[in-house]
Structure 1
């Protein structure tokens, strides 16, 4: 299964004498709330205590280069030196030289030639390896030796161990074993092992090479190779990675086996042949590079002549039968000269159905747009600038291409932030963009936003006044009179664009102020510092009629707590809200004795002294006296519990507009329970729960469930089980999820229920390489806190 592997997460021997959860003896628990936890190294804590470590001497040097100049020290209960050249040693004999140590019942040592012959309970140690045998002879100066008789060996830089008929120490960096059995399982309890006629270990490259090798699971051989290579420490190396088996409704049974190419220390590649039973063979891969001043990564997938007709699942689907399918993702970051760099991200697919057909998780299949960009960026102490372009591709098969954003072709920005003194600053935010898109109004836009602001503050107060001016000008393309905001005009419909060069200019003033009070308090027997932080934010912007301005990249932002202190409710420069508003908010926090924030509770609302008169389109005004009341809660009073929540209540409609609850509990060191509820009126209501439950040290149960109340259906469900022993990890998952999901409701038809089923299986032989395949990637993305 793992023929030739890439990496092995291993470290030195200090964790081997007293095994813990990782080889270096450290715990790697992911903090609560972490979006995606880092993978953990192989855990050998489940292995039995290694009996060979009873003669391990941690005080010996680990540098083999010391051998040529090192002296040989000998200890024994009896010494016969009558020969004057050959010393006959007996009784607890020990010979030390640099990183080498030999212990035996009897040793004959030639002081002139440095030949030795050890017999009876021979125990040998050198940098990175232990060995025991009945008999061993060799030469210390030449770093050669031969051992045989009940031979066992243990690698100290990994958990690799085995037995052999004979071992040859060729020099300080190379050894060879004949008729050998190798595994990372417990000594004498090999769940899996490699049996070979000859095994050569090269410590310089960190590689083991087996000839005429058979891999066995239990006592059953399942793979024969005349040549097999694998790692014996934590260095990268070329070779096959762990295969992945899965099944999906849209792809059928899938098998993939990646091959890793360790081309150089600063660049590598991975080729991953895949076979889809319904669609045919695919070649996927990844290439990475890191040079002075530049780094990048290329990911690609290519399937020639798709064998499957998507219209069998849905009459409205695009027919991909016989078409070449592909996906390409490329990122690069290059330093050009001091203060300037070039960055690019190119993401393209062959067709709109690609992510739905080949995606393996809800995040991928719900992606509606692939964004590509390339920019030159510069910055200094008080300025920043960029020049480049953005391009977008529609990859949602349920939506027309007209929903895709405008191409920003090109786009330039220039920003200033100049400190005039310790409390006064002046600056500028500016942007120039050319917007391009078929069958809609096109044009260029210049947005200038100069400002001057001050920051007065003390230990318990702050006052931050700011005055700005916003000027936005357009140059619309020819034929602008033929379009509305979102496309061509219907017959008899008038265009909202009455001027080819419209503009908008207005001042914006704000005053942000707050106080900070604190006191000592206690809760549940713990001492805290409690703060009370009232805050007032006044915003003024006069009304300007903007009904004749196009909508290139502007939308209404979702309202949340931070919108209480924002100068605009719109993203983009096409709309600037009018304002004569006062935000009143208050926050209280609990800080523990080490200064860690354990609880934060905020409440606030905006009061409108004048109506809101700037909608996205038209001139409709809102006469609400105030915004939603907003409550934000964040709490982690215990290291094992975390609770976050938000709530918005609309005083105009007297209804709840939005509410979320997120609860997370740690279960032991590697278990976690998550629950969340999300509600947005008329748009979304979902429950989400996930769990990693450790049944024992070896078994874990996995689950994930997302349910949409509005659709009365399960959006995604997953159940799985994981088994981990000393040297094997196994994952088996069953999944049911919707496809064509746009983030609010699943896309369904009578013929296509919009669902997909998948079974994913992954088997890893620990110590033979650290590769996280599809299963591991899906779990880390799908379950908050999974490791």
Structure 2
């Protein structure tokens, strides 16, 4: 999915002349478009911003001509000549020559090192005739002409400087200063200041005289006004060998968007077979566009997909769709609950829209639906899509102000995991309304309110409505080296269960047993106060280490939380779950996400943070350590988890470091002193290799202990654990060649989750990538031991080939997006 960009800055579709087969061109002339990703205009100096160390997703690299020959311009380029063509009409013309003859002081005959300059125009020749009244000129012998965006050399040029017209013959060479494009011709004609025509011409963005690839055409027109070139009776050549012919070819002179074919894409997956797609981009207007993508799957048939994007004064959005009229493939039913897809219509669509109704109010829509729960399994072509289990949809009316925000709408989900029944779908929240207030009323004090009213719906489950009110008063006392933040709140939650609630049960769990009870109250409720006090100190000192001056801070912090116990076992669990414990939970008033459970607490959190800041204020080292001490048992738990009587929470330790611009490291560690087990351990390190190389290593361990199996009459525990290693690298062998690799391994599954290997080459005007990828299908990255009835994940392999002629576009746009997602810091 392409993000909706700001107005007038939709990503360009640069023209790719070799995007379609000759068969597509035989019926009618075609215009081709290239890369879907917007790239900054190519620069002659190859200027480029390096992705910051530790960045999760790096932007695509722009076309970079730094590997071309230094000063690889035609030999007569004058860098000091004016770049402003608007000065031509009023500028004087200056003439130099070894010998000047002028019988009437209107027509000048110039010989020997002739040079004329007017504003951004400069002409050199051995011999020239110049008419000062009409500005006509006739230059012969080693003629060199330069203007703000173009260079031309020839044996003979006849032209007019006022009209910016001219005809060049004999050994014509030209170069476009904005795009690195250059070529040769038998004859060149300057039609005006922005348009030129060449006969029997070549065009390439490679070094002058070293064309790895080029377009050869009988006639070639260039128009700087629209940033396009058009070649007639054209042939694409690679290392001098023709490999593609077309009677009409349009190519880009810059990065402006143009309608036309995008790059074709080839792929193979086990569920859909060989795939071929060739998108066509419609540049309809500066604020809206569309792309249609015909596809063909060897196992499943023809599909049409596409997207439409738009931006208007009050609304902006995007609509994406995929539609297969009739599936040709019988997948033998992945699970007994899945239907036979052969002969069925298959589709997926996504509609995202934001509409400004009036100031501070907007209607936001996000709808994603699939024809069936097998769709992503069958047509997903990457690990992210095939591991998606739920599709989310929502419609909300949102309002906001300086001290308030409100929303009215609803949420729903669709199960797209073929190995799970539809009962795994969360409750539909239709309708749902929220109101949040935060009103300052005196000095450091605020009055606030978090409130929600929502109705829950799900088949074969208890249904009903819930009102949750959370008023509070807090204060923020602070100085340069201290802060105290008291808060007093009250939480009231009320339920109205629908008819038939007595048919459903809830569970009460103890450390040894599970007991089930039927709902008996149609209107259960809960009310309790919540009191907290957050206070901290900030100390700092100057220090020196390894010859560098630093500021070190010491930041102790205490957080006290009191919430009395309320028995909440008879309250339904609509949209609430226990959050994973981490450093953020040390200072949270509730360890549940959702209003159905409020943890009881008589806790004190003690934590300390220390930072090492360099003279520029950059955090070079940060360390945090903390724990919650429980003065009362943790009695409120979600279903099938017993209460805990621990004296303290996990110890939380975090360490991150960036001692220089080449290394960065981060680590988090959670250790449970009660079970003496490590519950979370993560470690990530990144090393920058040269300009664009990177080496990453990461390790992740997560253990959730004492989970109670819901089907057991007696409490039984099992471990749900993730333990993975990941190594990835972009290793530059030379300034032109680099190796690509990524390997993710699950220790508990004893299998490779994903492996990527490839090689990339980048020259002056060509980029080449060959990437092989093997990945599991149906893998969620968490469940590491198969439960009864669960489908084991399979594997699939993809080989991707990408060839880009710089300044012309790429054959495939999939490689970069996959590598940016898989390799931290890839650019």
Does the 8 A contact of 1:92 with 1:103 survive in 2? yes
How big is each residue's C-alpha offset from its partner over 1:552-585, in whole Å with a ceiling of 9 and x where there is no partner? 1000000001101000110000000110000111
Of 612, 619, 626, the residue aligned with 1:604 is 626
Of 742, 747, 751, the residue aligned with 1:713 is 751
Segment of structure 1 superposing worse, 229-238 or 394-403: 229-238
Shift of 1:393: 0.7
Of 591, 598, 611, the residue aligned with 1:569 is 591
In structure 1, the partner of 2:552 is 530
In structure 1, the partner of 2:106 is 85
Does the 8 A contact of 1:747 with 1:754 survive in 2? no
In structure 2, the partner of 1:723 is 761
Of 759, 762, 767, the residue aligned with 2:799 is 759
In structure 2, the partner of 1:490 is none
In structure 1, the partner of 2:228 is 207
Segment of structure 1 superposing worse, 71-80 or 401-410: 71-80
Does the 8 A contact of 1:398 with 1:747 survive in 2? no
Report SS of the residue matched to 2:396. strand
Shift of 1:10: 5.5
The verdict on how the C-alpha distance between 1:561 and 1:191 changes in structure 2, with shifts beyond 3 A counting, is: same
Aligned: 1:395 with 2:420 = no
The verdict on how the C-alpha distance between 1:427 and 1:255 changes in structure 2, with shifts beyond 3 A counting, is: same
The verdict on how the C-alpha distance between 1:517 and 1:89 changes in structure 2, with shifts beyond 3 A counting, is: same
Of 676, 694, 699, the residue aligned with 1:677 is 699
Report SS of the residue matched to 2:696. strand
Of 531, 542, 554, the residue aligned with 2:564 is 542
The verdict on how the C-alpha distance between 1:51 and 1:648 changes in structure 2, with shifts beyond 3 A counting, is: closer
Report SS of the residue matched to 1:214. strand
Shift of 1:633: 1.1
Counterparts of 2:586 and 2:204, CA distance in 1: 61
Matches within 5 A, 1:678-693: 678-681=700-703, 682=719, 683-693=721-731
Shift of 1:262: 1.4
In structure 2, the partner of 1:236 is 257
In structure 2, the partner of 1:489 is none
Counterparts of 1:678 and 1:312, CA distance in 2: 35
The verdict on how the C-alpha distance between 1:478 and 1:771 changes in structure 2, with shifts beyond 3 A counting, is: farther
Does the 8 A contact of 1:244 with 1:761 survive in 2? no
Does the 8 A contact of 1:64 with 1:127 survive in 2? yes
Shift of 1:599: 1.0
Aligned: 1:481 with 2:524 = no
Shift of 1:494: 6.2
The verdict on how the C-alpha distance between 1:751 and 1:503 changes in structure 2, with shifts beyond 3 A counting, is: closer
In structure 1, the partner of 2:201 is 180
Shift of 1:147: 0.3
Shift of 1:62: 3.3
The verdict on how the C-alpha distance between 1:572 and 1:316 changes in structure 2, with shifts beyond 3 A counting, is: closer
Counterparts of 2:79 and 2:726, CA distance in 1: 50
Does the 8 A contact of 2:671 with 2:679 survive in 1? yes
Report SS of the residue matched to 1:563. helix
The verdict on how the C-alpha distance between 1:747 and 1:624 changes in structure 2, with shifts beyond 3 A counting, is: closer
Counterparts of 1:51 and 1:716, CA distance in 2: 42
Of 485, 501, 507, the residue aligned with 2:523 is 501
Segment of structure 1 superposing worse, 275-284 or 524-533: 275-284
How big is each residue's C-alpha offset from its partner over 1:723-764, in whole Å with a ceiling of 9 and x where there is no partner? 111111111111111111123137989997611111111211
Segment of structure 1 superposing worse, 234-243 or 670-679: 234-243
Shift of 1:53: 4.3
Of 84, 95, 103, the residue aligned with 1:74 is 95
Does the 8 A contact of 2:264 with 2:812 survive in 1? no
Counterparts of 1:304 and 1:702, CA distance in 2: 39
Counterparts of 1:80 and 1:290, CA distance in 2: 63
Of 33, 54, 70, the residue aligned with 1:5 is 33
Does the 8 A contact of 2:72 with 2:207 survive in 1? no
Aligned: 1:633 with 2:655 = yes
Counterparts of 2:796 and 2:567, CA distance in 1: 49
Shift of 1:422: 3.3
Segment of structure 1 superposing worse, 754-763 or 502-511: 754-763
The verdict on how the C-alpha distance between 1:210 and 1:761 changes in structure 2, with shifts beyond 3 A counting, is: same
Shift of 1:31: 1.1
How big is each residue's C-alpha offset from its partner over 1:51-94, in whole Å with a ceiling of 9 and x where there is no partner? 53442233434343433333322222221112432101122212
Aligned: 1:595 with 2:617 = yes
Does the 8 A contact of 1:482 with 1:495 survive in 2? no
- Name the count of aligned residue pairs: 772
Does the 8 A contact of 1:133 with 1:150 survive in 2? yes
In structure 1, the partner of 2:25 is none
How big is each residue's C-alpha offset from its partner over 1:663-698, in whole Å with a ceiling of 9 and x where there is no partner? 111111111111111111232111111111111111
In structure 2, the partner of 1:94 is 115
In structure 2, the partner of 1:510 is 532
In structure 2, the partner of 1:109 is 130
Report SS of the residue matched to 1:250. coil
How big is each residue's C-alpha offset from its partner over 1:711-731, in whole Å with a ceiling of 9 and x where there is no partner? 111111111111111111111
Shift of 1:270: 1.9
Alignment root-mean-square deviation, CA: 2.1
Of 815, 820, 823, the residue aligned with 1:775 is 815
Of 52, 59, 70, the residue aligned with 2:73 is 52
In structure 2, the partner of 1:457 is 478
In structure 2, the partner of 1:740 is 778
In structure 2, the partner of 1:623 is 645
Of 290, 310, 315, the residue aligned with 1:294 is 315
Shift of 1:32: 1.8
Aligned: 1:377 with 2:417 = no
Unaligned 5+ runs, structure 1:
487-492
Counterparts of 2:151 and 2:40, CA distance in 1: 16
Counterparts of 2:649 and 2:633, CA distance in 1: 11
Aligned: 1:284 with 2:312 = no
Counterparts of 2:224 and 2:77, CA distance in 1: 19
The verdict on how the C-alpha distance between 1:314 and 1:730 changes in structure 2, with shifts beyond 3 A counting, is: farther
Aligned: 1:696 with 2:734 = yes
Counterparts of 1:703 and 1:175, CA distance in 2: 46
The verdict on how the C-alpha distance between 1:328 and 1:750 changes in structure 2, with shifts beyond 3 A counting, is: closer
The verdict on how the C-alpha distance between 1:618 and 1:129 changes in structure 2, with shifts beyond 3 A counting, is: closer
TM-score (norm 2): 0.90
Unaligned 5+ runs, structure 2:
1-17, 21-31, 508-514, 704-718
Shift of 1:132: 0.9
Segment of structure 1 superposing worse, 675-684 or 615-624: 615-624
Counterparts of 2:728 and 2:430, CA distance in 1: 43
TM-score (norm 1): 0.95
Counterparts of 1:657 and 1:778, CA distance in 2: 31
Shift of 1:190: 1.3
Report SS of the residue matched to 1:777. helix
Report SS of the residue matched to 1:726. coil
The verdict on how the C-alpha distance between 1:49 and 1:672 changes in structure 2, with shifts beyond 3 A counting, is: same
The verdict on how the C-alpha distance between 1:618 and 1:785 changes in structure 2, with shifts beyond 3 A counting, is: closer
Counterparts of 1:90 and 1:10, CA distance in 2: 44
Counterparts of 2:387 and 2:784, CA distance in 1: 9
Counterparts of 2:641 and 2:367, CA distance in 1: 39
The verdict on how the C-alpha distance between 1:484 and 1:78 changes in structure 2, with shifts beyond 3 A counting, is: farther
The verdict on how the C-alpha distance between 1:598 and 1:245 changes in structure 2, with shifts beyond 3 A counting, is: same
Aligned: 1:121 with 2:121 = no
Report SS of the residue matched to 1:734. strand
Shift of 1:771: 8.7
Segment of structure 1 superposing worse, 607-616 or 339-348: 339-348
In structure 1, the partner of 2:174 is 153
Report SS of the residue matched to 1:311. coil
Does the 8 A contact of 2:333 with 2:339 survive in 1? no
In structure 1, the partner of 2:430 is 409
Does the 8 A contact of 1:10 with 1:157 survive in 2? no
Of 329, 345, 369, the residue aligned with 1:348 is 369
Counterparts of 1:110 and 1:434, CA distance in 2: 86
Shift of 1:776: 1.3
Shift of 1:618: 7.2
Aligned: 1:42 with 2:63 = yes
